[in-house]
Structure 1
Amino acid sequence: MLSYGTDNSTDDCTDKTSAMDPLWKRLEGNEDVPKGEDVTSKIIGDFGKWQLKISVLMALLKLPIAYYQLNIIFMAPPQDFWCSKPANFAKYTVEEWRKICVPHVEERPCLIFDPDLLLLDPTLDKYLIPLVPCYNFEYDVSVFRRTITSDWNLVCTRHYLAHVCQCVMMWGIVIGGILFGSWADRHGRRVPLITSILIQGVASVLASVIPWFWVFLINWFILALASGGVGIISFVLCMEVVSGKWRTLIPVIYQLPFGFGNAVMAGLAYWLRDWRQLEFALGFFSSLFILYWFWVPESPRWLLATGHTEEAVVVLKDITRQNGKHVSSSYIRQLITEHTQEKHKEPEFMSFLKSSNMRKKTILLSLNWFCTGLSFYTFSQYLGSIGGNIFFAVALTGIISTLGGLTCIFIITRVGRKTTVAIYQIVTALCFVLILVTPRGMFLNDFPRLLFAGIGFAGMAGTIPALYLFSGELFPTLGRNVGVSGVTTFARIASMVAPIVVALESYLVNLPIILLAIVSIAQIFMILPLPETKDSPLPETLEEAEKF
């Protein structure tokens, strides 16, 4: 745990066992660090025990992020329902009642034959019986004992409210990323992160017990705000604590628990079969992350970038101790004073649109994120519809996502960020085309289409961590939260468009896949004008980012 105490008597001692380290050679020989080099990494190293600890802690936060973004699948799953049987029809079984009360042309029993007339003569010609609305419903509990659909009767004229829940979640994540991201850029990463973690856990537990739908929806929005804050700040922290080759690996590995979170959520949903119990379990687990208050210090890179020199010295000295390196506070202070720039004002997202170079990068990244989000959320629904078991489908999606992220690690370290994104986009586009040209029903269980769907989803799963890393490196430290949050907002907007794209299947069976193929091909051309960031120093200010 980080100690914020004063310097002790060992401040002016150095660790003689580390004399062979290049940094400590420089410190003992009072050699200058060349201008432009990363002072933070020169003091604490590219990667050590402390960076490993922070990287693991930030990656674990992807688990609850996955839960809240996708648990609507188990909160409002497809569920059979029927109009409740009136007391006057007690002599009929449920199946008999359903057969005589529902028009055969109706997929769902929102309108039924007038029960009063049916009671007079069940064999009466149905064309002579008017239809009346059904107000009381019963639900199939063979798979799920309780859902938000059954709790609040989100069927028929209220069916759209289930989709509203997901839209509220995505808009909340968008706004939360902006609000918490801006707070983190102005006042540090630590307090906004812990605050969002606390709100996320409390709001999730409250969601499991709130009995009123509209109050639940308000609480759901607050939960989404916090989830957006956790996501953006944890990613930026993950980038800022490492340097060198680890700046490539760690932000990619950070994304992997998201897929694992899907699989865990599917397992919990299978075990509990009750949305309230599931939400309580997720909220209880999320609340444990409040312990991060004792384990996560302020970002030293942010402290240096904003001129908080004395606080940075304390944090950096404690980090060197945890990494097994000891150096005097006075020398750290001297190094910082000589090689850090003066404090700059944190830019807003709109600031990135005012200069030509950053405007081009911001617009292209935003378009890429929109296309990625549209493909990911639309194709997630398509992949889930292939299997008949919803728990297996969601778990499989999570596993495939994790595998796609693992392959990204090997590719991105060799060919760079831009090329990696392009490779995965080509794979995804090719799979969409292969799905289109493969006839339906020609093979057992449509095996080739299922195979192409799996590879295509893995391609999208590999695109996301690479694009996250690429976006984070194109924006400066002062404004990185706001920048990454701003461009990833378009992926959330795309997630709200995804159900509309899926619905186009009713007009033309392959129309959604045709559109996704076009979008994926367009992405390839939108990534090409952006600069490669591999082995380049992170820009600290907007001015540095504009020159890159």
Structure 2
Amino acid sequence: MAETTVVPPQSEFADAEITRLDNKLPSLDEVIEHLTGAFGRTQLLQCILVSLTRVFDGQQTFISVFTDAEPTWHCIDNATCKSDSNFCNLSASEWAWDGTSSKTIISEWSLQCASSFIRGLPASSFFLGCIFGGFALASLADASLGRKKLLLLSCITMSFTALATIFSTNIWIYSTLRFITGVGRASIGTCSLVLLTENVGKRWRGRASILGFVFFTLGYLSLPAIAYINRGSSWRALYLCTSIPTILYCAVVYFCVSESPKWLFTQGREEEALAILKGFTSVNDGSLSLCLLSVPIKQNTISHDLYSTFKAILKKRRVLQQLLALMVIGFGIGMVYFGMPLGVGNMGFNIYLGALFNALLEVPSYFITFFVIDRCNRKGALLGFSILSGIFSILCFVVGDFRKEIKMGLELASLFGACMAYNVLLIYTTELFPTRIRNSATSMVRQALAFGAVFSPSLISAGKINGFLSYGVFGIVISLCGLFATCLPETQGSMLYDTVDEQEESATIKEDNSA
């Protein structure tokens, strides 16, 4: 549909003080910024409801830390068996698992002596599912389904597949179900992040985004507690305890979560967007309608086929280059961000305490990001935290197993750097791309994070023999990938654009002015 321009009526809108300094008509983002910038109670409730989905996302992402771990064991025949023996060289009558033999999939299906590939297959399958689901479903949030419906679809798929996982009888069925769980989970983080970003004004954008990260950590934090309570039970109890609440939450999404008004406007669904904005602002209906009718809205010219937004990205060289740079950075960050927690069993610490320390570490990273994000240079922060994480990861390998306390401290320092880089990367991505491709671009970056995580389980398993194959590789990869941040523009304090053309026009003007 062609672009339409409406002359602003002489009304309350004329006194709203949101017209541009260059006398051009205000953009949709500027009008919604004016109407939603106060961040009322309705917006706060929406942010909390949307962020709750990250609790269940965090649980399914890191549940394999406990369900796929190698349990402790003890000797039965002390004459031939020692505590430091390799039980793969012992007969079944010489040793036994501590507790129930169905405590984890390793003990139930006798995978303790299997290859690192087999032992890491379920976790790798989960992240492969995240990649597949991201590519297959992400563009639907920008094209036809929207943010809310895709969020609901993802939650339903993830929760019911996680529940079905308890009926697995071997590692192949288990890995397949973990793959499908990953497919469902793939769009949850992206949809929730974009909804949080688009439902608040620019002043609250960064802080609202951090809220989703905090809830993700709460989900991760709940796992050690749930696992400890069920430490005498089968690994299936963990899936039961985490899937049932997620199924109940799906009803909350359906009845209580609102769609993004920005996305509705770009789809030509003004009445639905107006109904949502009425709940966000105290402006009366007549003034609200006049304000929004004064905006020159470009209706969505992107077709609604599955990969329409990806095609739009490929047509713009600048957008494609920026997206590829972010994906390379995401690959390195994902390898460390997900790899470190998955490898906590290799640290020689109590697995429950180790997982708890890793989860707790994310809390200060979110609070620091929350308070400094509005004053933070995105490009410099992303580069600095990536390299910092890489340095500490390499030091983990250098220290080795001689001083476990120091190694644990270095692991936490490396994970902290990766957490900060992860936070900045996702906020940076939502700011760098316009509304009509924002969900797809953010999803692509998240798929790069998941792609890095695919290699982590096998590297962690191999790291039991050679530490360089885990911590050394982690450090080198995240440091080198972080260097790609130097290729990106700065977005601190910038406005959110609605279309690629609008963003390209603004970038061209800035280049001409600086020339």
Bucket of the pairwise TM-score, normalised by the shorter protein? 0.7 to 0.9
* 1:47 paired residue among 30, 39, 42: 39
| CA distance, structure 1, for counterparts of residue 398 and residue 104 of structure 2 | 38
Please list every run of 5 or more consecutive structure 2 residues that lacks an aligned counterpart in the other structure: 1-10, 21-25, 303-307, 508-515
Deviates more, 1:492-501 or 1:361-370: 492-501
| CA distance, structure 2, for counterparts of residue 160 and residue 448 of structure 1 | 29
Taking a change above 3 Å as real, the CA distance of residues 516 and 166 of structure 1, as seen in their structure-2 partners, is closer
TM-score by length of 2: 0.83
1:512 offset after TM fit, Å? 3.9
Aligned residue in 2 for 1:63: 55
1:511 offset after TM fit, Å? 5.4
| CA distance, structure 2, for counterparts of residue 206 and residue 264 of structure 1 | 21
Deviation digits for residues 328-364 of structure 1 (CA, Å, limit 9, x no counterpart) = 2x43333223214221234432532332211220111
- Report if the CA contact (8 A) 2:12-2:287 is conserved: no
Taking a change above 3 Å as real, the CA distance of residues 179 and 38 of structure 1, as seen in their structure-2 partners, is farther
* 1:370 paired residue among 324, 327, 331: 331
**2:496 counterpart SS class:** coil
**1:79 counterpart SS class:** coil
The answer to whether residue 245 in structure 2 is matched with residue 264 in structure 1 is: no
The equivalences for 1:17-416 within 5 A come to 26-27=12-13, 29=15, 33-34=19-20, 35-36=26-27, 37-79=29-71, 95-96=76-77, 107-109=86-88, 140-142=97-99, 146-156=103-113, 160-187=117-144, 188-211=146-169, 214-273=172-231, 274-290=234-250, 291-320=252-281, 325-328=282-285, 330-346=286-302, 347-416=308-377
**1:345 counterpart SS class:** coil
- Report if the CA contact (8 A) 1:411-1:420 is conserved: no
| CA distance, structure 1, for counterparts of residue 366 and residue 192 of structure 2 | 18
**1:245 counterpart SS class:** helix
Q: How many residues align?
A: 481
Aligned residue in 1 for 2:513: none
Aligned residue in 2 for 1:12: none
| CA distance, structure 2, for counterparts of residue 269 and residue 340 of structure 1 | 54
Q: What amino acid is the match of 1:276?
A: R
- Report if the CA contact (8 A) 1:405-1:465 is conserved: yes
1:202 offset after TM fit, Å? 2.1
| CA distance, structure 2, for counterparts of residue 162 and residue 77 of structure 1 | 9
1:525 offset after TM fit, Å? 2.3
Taking a change above 3 Å as real, the CA distance of residues 31 and 229 of structure 1, as seen in their structure-2 partners, is closer
Aligned residue in 2 for 1:117: none
Taking a change above 3 Å as real, the CA distance of residues 152 and 503 of structure 1, as seen in their structure-2 partners, is closer
| CA distance, structure 1, for counterparts of residue 479 and residue 120 of structure 2 | 29
Taking a change above 3 Å as real, the CA distance of residues 186 and 142 of structure 1, as seen in their structure-2 partners, is same
Structure of greater relative contact order (alpha carbons < 8 Å, 6+ residues apart): 2
1:393 offset after TM fit, Å? 0.6
- Report if the CA contact (8 A) 2:70-2:104 is conserved: no
Aligned alpha-carbon RMSD (Å): 3.2
Deviation digits for residues 181-238 of structure 1 (CA, Å, limit 9, x no counterpart) = 2222122222222222223222222222454654444433332222112222111111
Q: What amino acid is the match of 1:327?
A: N
TM-score by length of 1: 0.79
Aligned residue in 2 for 1:515: 473
- Report if the CA contact (8 A) 2:69-2:345 is conserved: no
- Report if the CA contact (8 A) 2:134-2:183 is conserved: yes
| CA distance, structure 2, for counterparts of residue 214 and residue 378 of structure 1 | 22
**1:334 counterpart SS class:** helix
